[in-house]
Amino acid sequence: MGTSISGIMGGRLSPADYEKNFTDLHPPLDRHQALVASDRCYFCYDAPCMTACPTAIDIPMFIRQISTGNAVGAAKTIFDQNILGGMCARVCPTETLCEQACVRNTAGDRPVEIGLLQRHATDTAMERDIQFYQRPERTHRRIAVVGAGPAGLACAHRLAMNGHDVIIFDARVKPGGLNEYGIATYKTTDDFAQREVDYLLAIGGIEIRNGQKLGRDFTLGELAENFDAVFLGIGLAGVNALRVEGEQLSGVEDAVDFIAALRQVEDKGDIAVGRRVVVIGGGMTAIDAAVQAKLLGAEEVTICYRRGKEDMNASEFEQELATSKGVMIRHWLQPRRVIGKDGRVAGIEVEYTEMQDGKLSGTGETGILAADQIFKAIGQTFDPASVPNLRLDGGRIAVDAEGRTSMARVWAGGDCVKAGEDLTVTSVAQGRDAAESINQALAAAANSAVAVA
Q: How far is the CB of 385 from another protein (least distance, A)?
A: 45
Of residues 288-347, those binding another protein (CB under 8 A)? none
* Of residues 3 and 106, the one with the C-beta less far from another protein: 106
Give 35 or 261: the residue with its C-beta nearer to another protein.
Answer: 35
CB-based contacts of 257, cutoff 8 Å, min separation 6: none
Please give the torsion angle defined by the CA atoms of residues 135, 139, 140 and 146, in that order, rounded to the nearest 10 degrees: -70
Does position 103 interact with another protein (CB under 8 A)? The reply is yes
| Residue 108 or 343 having the CB closest to another protein | 108
Say what angle helices 59-67 and 114-127 make with each other, to 10 degrees: 60
158-to-66, 219, 229, 427, 434 alpha-carbon distances in Å = 25, 24, 14, 13, 9
Q: Which is nearer to another protein, 38 or 82 (CB)?
A: 38
Q: Left if phi > 0, otherwise alpha if psi is -120 to 50, otherwise beta: which for 416?
A: alpha
359 lies in the site for another protein, by CB under 8 A: no
- Between CA 88 and CA 237 the distance in angstroms is 22
If binding is defined by CB under 8 A, does position 128 make contact with another protein? no
| Binding flag, residue 107, another protein (CB under 8 A) | yes
| 65 in contact with another protein (CB under 8 A) | no
- To another protein, the closest distance from the beta carbon of 120 in angstroms equals 14
Distances (CA, A) of 305 to 196, 259, 429: 34, 19, 30
Q: How far is residue 199's CA from residue 206's CA, in Å, rounded to a whole number?
A: 12
H-helix or E-strand containing 153?
helix 150-161
Residues contacting another protein: total by CB under 8 A: 17
Region 12-51 residues binding another protein, contact defined as CB under 8 A: 32, 35-36, 38-39, 42-48
Q: Which is nearer to another protein, 36 or 56 (CB)?
A: 36
Minimum distance from residue 317 beta carbon to another protein (Å):
21
Minimum separation from the CB atom of position 48 to another protein (A):
7
Q: Residue 296 and residue 437: Cα distance in Å, rounded?
A: 45
Closer by beta carbon to another protein, 37 or else 262: 37
Which residues of the chain form contacts with another protein (CB under 8 A)?
Answer: 32, 35-36, 38-39, 42-48, 67, 103-104, 106-107
